[in-house]
Structure 1
Amino acid sequence: MFTSEAELEARLTAPSQALIDDMAKSSGDLMILGAGGKMGPTMAVLARRAMNEAGRASDKVIAVSRWSDPRQAQILEDQGVEIVAADLLGDMDFAELPDADDVLFMVGAKFGSASQPSWAWAVNAVMPDRVARRYRDSRITTFSTGNVYPLVPVTSTGTTEESAVGPVGEYAMSCLGRERVFSHSALTRDTPVSIIRLNYAADLRYGVLYDIADPIMRGEPVDLTTGHVNVVWQGYANEVTLRSMAHASKDVFTLNLTGPEILSVEKIATRLAEGLGKEVTFTGEAGGPCLLSDASKCFDMFGYPDVSAGQLIDWQADWLARGLPTSGKPTKFAVRDGKF
């Protein structure tokens, strides 16, 4: 259990020996575009710590964002991360960005994409073309989402990397557009590319587990219409992402990244309520298709998460019972029509 954000941050940014060993096999600077988001800060510090322990202290970790929260930028700088302030969606010349051997693209537009679809496409598909042109000679690893797949029956094992895509809504379609743009760079410029289809990472301050706990804490029913989910510890998600950089290829390396279990929302809610010492009620009926991914390829390559779903649920309940900080950024995992 954790008693502070500092303890959580320390756990999220502690590199495994496997990550250190992988980092030791590479060299050069790493640039993270969109490093100011939910996962970016811990990703940057984890990379810095792993590179230090791998004997790569002279290689830079460069974190690029608008940095609307200067405090967060200062924290990263204190950890040895180089900070670059830039509005990537503005009119800036991408040639002004530093060179880097590895580029991790974490920029994304999700919430508001239904009401402002042009903005979603500009961020999720147009910007990647500018990045791909600027860093044609680098290795590029880009985040995508399991939303590029269709909803599937809960009796299935989930979609695999070989499953047909079927994005629903502007957000999911524009994320598939992002994949296609980077894949085109691999095809036409031989740029090595890795695509990470993630759903859903949790770090206790935000995530699906928090979203399920929120109505319990407010004395409201938990909606079971979206009755099953995938969840993965953010520390594992960060590690796998950084280790995936080495697998970037002009043939495009694609990886589903999530937890190994198909979890029942009702069972999650019941366990969270027990940990919170509260009653739980439900509305809606489970059983319909859900967004579920099969990450067997990920586990074969990188091993299973070091934090089980049960432990993560218990951590979440304890975190909230202690009144520790949350981000106020919902995942909206229960959205079924693609309108975010």
Structure 2
Amino acid sequence: MTAPPSVTPPVAPLLDDGLPARIADLAALDDLLCRPTRALIDDLAQVDGDILVLGVGGKMGPTVAGLAKAAAPAKRVIGVARFSEPGLRESLEARGIETLACDLLDEAAVAALPEVANVIFMAGRKFGAEGDLALTWAMNVYSPAVVARRFARSRIVAFSTGCVYPFVPVDGGGAGEATPLDPPGEYAQSCVGRERLFSYFSALHGTPGRLFRLNYAIDMRYGVLHDIAAKIAAGQPIDVTMGHVNVIWQGDAAAQALRCLRHATTPTSPINVSGPETLSVRSLAEALGQRLGRVPAITGQEAATAWLTDTRAAQELFGQPVVGIEPMLDWTADWVGRAMPSLGKATKFEVRDGRY
């Protein structure tokens, strides 16, 4: 395990009236994503123990770990991944995050991880899921069982997805936490399996936790808005058959995940997390097209159903996201218009058969 450097906490917490007009570059993006709100700082101050982020190498992992360290600089924050991406380990350590290499399918390796009071489980497999379904089920179901048994005495906030729900009417306010889980496709079914395993071991061992059902985090390098803007810039058509979505700024989503540590339940229970609005894909394309100075090419006709969630429970706990849809649209159009870096990982939000 590497020793973390000293880290100076942010000068001031993130506020909605202090948002930048644009995000200049990757360094500015990472700094913004890792700038905590006062509510997050206060909530983590009420949570005892250090924080282990499993699957820190994924798209949101560095934000969750960096935000945790910035909000609670006195806590140890340990990021665990295989670390196949060059430079990731060094960038995490620069923020004061300790790093450990571990394959979460290896029971012996997981058993050797340090005992930590708080676990954020972010590991999983979506992209390419259809290409190796056995691996998809291993990552999304077997690994959670390994982790749930190993950290039975910890709080566990387990990342899940709104894709565990069936499609719901676009005018119905979204699926609530009590909506029966019956999604299309093996990827989404494996995500139900992940939740079932965490729920089983939580009830068995009395492990507090939350099942964090997230819909579409937005980062400048990927996400539904990035997908739409990139297609507009490239002159490619935008399919609006999956015509409605929920989105949330990645920093807000990461903050709510960490705040769930204070609001863990025994046994674990689901919580839907996304922005409060049901957003029209056609309207998002038009808004981004106006900002990019291009007319989007639209194909398809909006279906009467979509993957949408009701986030009222999260709003009651955490309030409204700091970053609303207008800044996200402004930042995305500016970023894509300048041909800034992309992760090259489409969300595939248009998919309706569950095949990724």
TM-score with structure 2 setting the length: 0.92
Asked if residue 334 in structure 1 is aligned to residue 350 in structure 2, the reply is yes
Separation (CA, whole Å) in 1 of partners of 2:270 and 2:299: 37
Out of 66-75 and 125-134, give the one that drifted further.
Answer: 66-75
Q: Any idea what the Cα deviations from partners look like across 1:287-314, whole Å, max 9, x if unmatched?
A: 3311011101111110001111122112
1:50 to 62, 71, 84: 71
Pairwise CA distance, 1:155? 1.4
Query: Residue type matched to 1:207 in 2?
Result: G
Asked if residue 153 in structure 1 is aligned to residue 169 in structure 2, the reply is yes
Pairwise CA distance, 1:186? 1.4
1:169 to 155, 177, 185: 185
Pairwise CA distance, 1:217? 1.3
Query: Residue type matched to 1:219 in 2?
Result: G
Matches within 5 A, 1:313-332: 313-332=329-348
Separation (CA, whole Å) in 2 of partners of 1:68 and 1:62: 17
In the alignment, what sits opposite 2:96? 80
Separation (CA, whole Å) in 1 of partners of 2:107 and 2:51: 24
Query: Residue type matched to 1:158 in 2?
Result: G
1:34 to 32, 35, 55: 55
Q: In the alignment, is the contact (CA less than 8 A) between 1:31 and 1:100 conserved in 2?
A: yes
Matches within 5 A, 1:227-238: 227-238=243-254
Q: In the alignment, is the contact (CA less than 8 A) between 2:107 and 2:146 conserved in 1?
A: no
Out of 67-76 and 30-39, give the one that drifted further.
Answer: 67-76
Pairwise CA distance, 1:92? 4.2
Is the partner of 2:310 in helix, strand or coil? Answer: coil
In the alignment, what sits opposite 1:241? 257
Is the partner of 1:114 in helix, strand or coil? Answer: helix
Separation (CA, whole Å) in 2 of partners of 1:20 and 1:215: 38
Out of 17-26 and 92-101, give the one that drifted further.
Answer: 92-101
Separation (CA, whole Å) in 1 of partners of 2:259 and 2:196: 22
Is the partner of 1:49 in helix, strand or coil? Answer: helix
Is the partner of 1:103 in helix, strand or coil? Answer: strand
Query: Residue type matched to 1:15 in 2?
Result: P
Out of 307-316 and 98-107, give the one that drifted further.
Answer: 307-316
Q: In the alignment, is the contact (CA less than 8 A) between 2:103 and 2:110 conserved in 1?
A: no
Pairwise CA distance, 1:249? 2.1
How large is the Cα RMSD of the aligned pairs?
Answer: 1.2
Separation (CA, whole Å) in 1 of partners of 2:85 and 2:109: 23
Separation (CA, whole Å) in 2 of partners of 1:280 and 1:177: 38
Is the partner of 2:210 in helix, strand or coil? Answer: strand
Separation (CA, whole Å) in 2 of partners of 1:277 and 1:92: 55
Asked if residue 3 in structure 1 is aligned to residue 24 in structure 2, the reply is yes
Is the partner of 1:116 in helix, strand or coil? Answer: helix
In the alignment, what sits opposite 1:255? 271
Matches within 5 A, 1:183-222: 183-222=199-238
Separation (CA, whole Å) in 2 of partners of 1:252 and 1:134: 16
Q: In the alignment, is the contact (CA less than 8 A) between 1:222 and 1:283 conserved in 2?
A: yes
2:109 to 80, 87, 93: 93
Q: In the alignment, is the contact (CA less than 8 A) between 1:247 and 1:253 conserved in 2?
A: no
TM-score with structure 1 setting the length: 0.96
Separation (CA, whole Å) in 2 of partners of 1:262 and 1:63: 33
1:139 to 155, 161, 164: 155
